[in-house]
A and B are shown apart, each in its own frame.
Chain A
């Protein structure tokens, strides 16, 4: 225990040495110092003036937005702007040092990879966070002096903490970017992967704050903390001497990537092995490896149904529509749509294949979140319809048994498996297996996804489409008796 404590103290000391050097270096660079000073002192004063004028204007016109919403919103803006600098600082600190060839002497010192990573990360956050908090203090003081408004301690904590989390996420994302490139130029190009989500986040925060839904900020912070955990873990895995020195050039070898993907897709071919044994090992095996993400998707889909069912009580469909489904001539409706035909089956099949393909792309760009939402949507709608029909005496069990289950026995497992594979693929780069690069880890999971999608999900969707075209209408007519 004593040794561990001493080790920890030594690490803390080394981290502090790295932070001190980095921060001194930042404060000697006028290109960094100038925006920091402007964003800390000048910009908050400008926002104070803006707040005072906007409140006066809104109050004079009797607008819907009152000062209690605008002032905290501007406080958030003041807090965020210096934080944006942390991205630049982190890219400079990590990839800049690599580019200026000053990293290797550092790597030759007794510093551990983690000490260097933590020191550089904290140094990149420190100046923007201090600047952000000072900016908020300047703004709040100005507004208080002019209007007498003071934020509640809760609001102050929310906005202050939000700025800290934003800085931490930006820096962690910058570390991940830096580990993949060797020049600041390339890092700046990749930084759009950080800037775009942050632009969307700020837009979302703006809506919430102007809407007055300040409690939702805590949920946003929880989301940011989750993202931060993933990025931090990835940063620790990537910021290693091996990774940093093993990559001398930013090289994109598409042919090699394709060969790697093809090998991973085919997997192992054992001599004399039949296709079925290969399928069992490489396709069903991949599905089994995806069990945990599949379980997560299962929970999400069940939540979708429940949410849809619950919302049916609050939002009612026009009664004639519901009544038509509940009591109308469903057989002739099916005839009108022409669904019970090969063309109908093909349309359903292609629609589902496209939907899952789209969910995969959306999932890749959003750590699986958009994929989950897209997959939840049809079952959410089914739950919603079930809730609507319940008021006409058609139970949920009857609805699902007739409208969903006949083809759902194939389609729902297909959605679960596909969702699991998408989720796995979307987060695979967070923790590459030992000895694998981020790119290889991602290609391996894409190969797994492609194998599962093409050889398990698509066949299930084909069967589901045939059932939806030919069996489901028959069951619905039989159950509803029309």
Chain B
């Protein structure tokens, strides 16, 4: 649903985005991660036909972003970096304005607005001017605007910023529901936990170029090495430590525990357990050590900075 090939954007002498290629299929979420100024917003703007690429091409919902720009904008819902609400309007008037621009009829606008305002808990704030909304409420209303015309593709820049935990949950649930409805979602976020939770694919962008791409698990494996496991016994290791060191690629050891790496857990872990059973060693736990996307991200960004 989103395909980009060698997308490049140049402003005078500055190259904001350099030969970015990506593909996001229907029903999946791609999270675009990167530090401020990395080129995420420019990429989004090109993909949503707001800016024209200097070179390369992109297609959204089978439409060319340059030659079919208006149709692309009609089929995409874009949550921009800034919510862009008109302070003197009320929610329904605001949604009617955007709904009409997307060519929706009055009935559809009323029905969709009502449903979405209810879903995001803004129905009771109908009579308030948008200027009186809290930051989280504004963000939610902006998200409703994006979903109002039922777009096939959603591009969301920081969808949960400034929200309280309950609202964050509501938005994440909404994104998951949209994915289940086979919508294509491009998510830009600094919240790595959110990206890990929601995204099928991650692309890390730095200085205008994609430097790493893959599923969260693939990226962890590729950048942080094989999975790490922790084996904990109910009593001190004593003489077992030498035997474990022969069988496992140990990376850490304590009085009653060891940590090891393996890229073949299905083979290595049962064999280790079996050997320990033979040694009559009481195994308390064998578990995978949690490694976060943050570790991946920081490693990638620091490695790029070092270059």
Query: In the bound complex, how far is the Cα of B102 from the Cα of A276, in angstroms?
Result: 60
A61 within 8 A of B: no
Tally of A interface residues using CB under 8 Å: 23
**CB nearest to B155 among chain A residues:** A108
Partner of A109, one of B45, B88, B98: B98
Given A105-B98, A109-B102, are A245 and B84 neighbors across the interface (CB < 8 Å)?
no
What 0/1 readout, one digit per residue, does chain A (98-115) give for beta carbons within 8 Å of chain B?
Answer: 001111111111111000
B243 within 8 A of A: no
**A102 & B84 in contact (Cβ 8 Å cutoff):** yes
Partner of B86, one of A25, A107, A109, A111: A25
What 0/1 readout, one digit per residue, does chain A (75-112) give for beta carbons within 8 Å of chain B?
Answer: 00000000000000000000000001111111111111
B80 within 8 A of A: yes
**B52 & A108 in contact (Cβ 8 Å cutoff):** no
Query: In the bound complex, how far is the Cα of B292 from the Cα of A401, in angstroms?
Result: 92
Quote the shortest CB–CB distance from A126 to chain B (angstroms): 17
A14 within 8 A of B: yes
**B86 & A102 in contact (Cβ 8 Å cutoff):** yes
**CB nearest to A20 among chain B residues:** B97
Quote the shortest CB–CB distance from B143 to chain A (angstroms): 12
Query: In the bound complex, how far is the Cα of B80 from the Cα of A100, in angstroms?
Result: 13
**A105 & B84 in contact (Cβ 8 Å cutoff):** yes
Given A108-B73, A111-B101, are A28 and B82 neighbors across the interface (CB < 8 Å)?
no
Partner of A105, one of B11, B70, B71, B142: B142
> CB-CB < 8 A to B160: which residues of A?
none
What 0/1 readout, one digit per residue, does chain B (58-79) give for beta carbons within 8 Å of chain A?
Answer: 0000000000001101101010
**CB nearest to B75 among chain A residues:** A110
**CB nearest to B100 among chain A residues:** A17
> CB-CB < 8 A to B83: which residues of A?
105
Q: Is the interface of A mostly helix, strand, loop or mixed?
A: helix
Query: In the bound complex, how far is the Cα of B162 from the Cα of A411, in angstroms?
Result: 70
Partner of A29, one of B80, B88, B98, B100: B88
Query: In the bound complex, how far is the Cα of B74 from the Cα of A248, in angstroms?
Result: 26
Quote the shortest CB–CB distance from A28 to chain B (angstroms): 5
> CB-CB < 8 A to B103: which residues of A?
110
**CB nearest to A26 among chain B residues:** B88
Query: In the bound complex, how far is the Cα of B47 from the Cα of A81, in angstroms?
Result: 46
**A21 & B50 in contact (Cβ 8 Å cutoff):** no
B51 within 8 A of A: yes
Query: In the bound complex, how far is the Cα of B103 from the Cα of A386, in angstroms?
Result: 70
Query: In the bound complex, how far is the Cα of B212 from the Cα of A371, in angstroms?
Result: 60
**A105 & B145 in contact (Cβ 8 Å cutoff):** yes
**A14 & B82 in contact (Cβ 8 Å cutoff):** no
A246 within 8 A of B: yes
Query: In the bound complex, how far is the Cα of B85 from the Cα of A106, in angstroms?
Result: 10
Partner of B84, one of A14, A21, A25, A104: A104
Partner of A245, one of B51, B71, B102, B145: B51
A241 within 8 A of B: yes
A268 within 8 A of B: no
**A105 & B51 in contact (Cβ 8 Å cutoff):** no
B91 within 8 A of A: no
**B101 & A109 in contact (Cβ 8 Å cutoff):** yes
B139 within 8 A of A: no
**CB nearest to B129 among chain A residues:** A28
Quote the shortest CB–CB distance from A302 to chain B (angstroms): 43
Quote the shortest CB–CB distance from B61 to chain A (angstroms): 14
A273 within 8 A of B: no
B28 within 8 A of A: no
Query: In the bound complex, how far is the Cα of B278 from the Cα of A54, in angstroms?
Result: 118
B113 within 8 A of A: no
**A104 & B88 in contact (Cβ 8 Å cutoff):** no
A242 within 8 A of B: yes
> CB-CB < 8 A to A104: which residues of B?
50, 80-82, 84
B8 within 8 A of A: no
Quote the shortest CB–CB distance from B112 to chain A (angstroms): 16
**A105 & B50 in contact (Cβ 8 Å cutoff):** no
**B11 & A101 in contact (Cβ 8 Å cutoff):** no
**A110 & B88 in contact (Cβ 8 Å cutoff):** no
Given A108-B73, A110-B102, are A28 and B50 neighbors across the interface (CB < 8 Å)?
no
B184 within 8 A of A: no
Query: In the bound complex, how far is the Cα of B85 from the Cα of A102, in angstroms?
Result: 6
Quote the shortest CB–CB distance from B147 to chain A (angstroms): 13
Query: In the bound complex, how far is the Cα of B212 from the Cα of A116, in angstroms?
Result: 39
> CB-CB < 8 A to A28: which residues of B?
88
Query: In the bound complex, how far is the Cα of B86 from the Cα of A110, in angstroms?
Result: 19
Quote the shortest CB–CB distance from B287 to chain A (angstroms): 46
**A246 & B142 in contact (Cβ 8 Å cutoff):** no
**B88 & A108 in contact (Cβ 8 Å cutoff):** no
Quote the shortest CB–CB distance from B299 to chain A (angstroms): 31
**B84 & A109 in contact (Cβ 8 Å cutoff):** no
Partner of A242, one of B52, B74, B84: B52
**B50 & A108 in contact (Cβ 8 Å cutoff):** yes
Given A108-B50, A242-B52, are A17 and B84 neighbors across the interface (CB < 8 Å)?
no
**B52 & A105 in contact (Cβ 8 Å cutoff):** no
B48 within 8 A of A: yes
Chain B residues 30-61 with CB under 8 Å of chain A are 45, 48, 50-52
Partner of A241, one of B50, B76, B86: B50
> CB-CB < 8 A to A246: which residues of B?
11, 51
Quote the shortest CB–CB distance from A282 to chain B (angstroms): 23
> CB-CB < 8 A to A101: which residues of B?
82, 84
Query: In the bound complex, how far is the Cα of B85 from the Cα of A103, in angstroms?
Result: 10
Quote the shortest CB–CB distance from B155 to chain A (angstroms): 9
Query: In the bound complex, how far is the Cα of B97 from the Cα of A25, in angstroms?
Result: 12
Query: In the bound complex, how far is the Cα of B11 from the Cα of A108, in angstroms?
Result: 20
Which of B52, B82, B145 is the most central at the interface, judged by chain A CB atoms within 10 Å of its CB? B82
**B84 & A110 in contact (Cβ 8 Å cutoff):** no
Quote the shortest CB–CB distance from B54 to chain A (angstroms): 10
Query: In the bound complex, how far is the Cα of B70 from the Cα of A241, in angstroms?
Result: 12
Partner of B101, one of A14, A25, A242, A245: A14
Binding site for A on B (CB under 8 A): 11, 45, 48, 50-52, 70-71, 73-74, 76, 78, 80-86, 88-89, 97-98, 100-103, 142, 145
In addition to A17-B101, A101-B82, A105-B83, 12 A-B residue pairs with Cβ atoms within 8 Å of each other are A21-B97, A100-B84, A101-B84, A102-B85, A103-B84, A104-B82, A105-B78, A105-B84, A105-B98, A110-B73, A110-B102, A110-B103
Q: List 13 A-B contacts (CB under 8 A).
A: A17-B97, A17-B100, A104-B81, A105-B80, A105-B84, A105-B98, A108-B73, A109-B102, A110-B102, A110-B103, A242-B51, A242-B52, A245-B45
4 shortest A-B CB distances, which residue pairs?
A101-B82, A105-B84, A108-B78, A102-B84
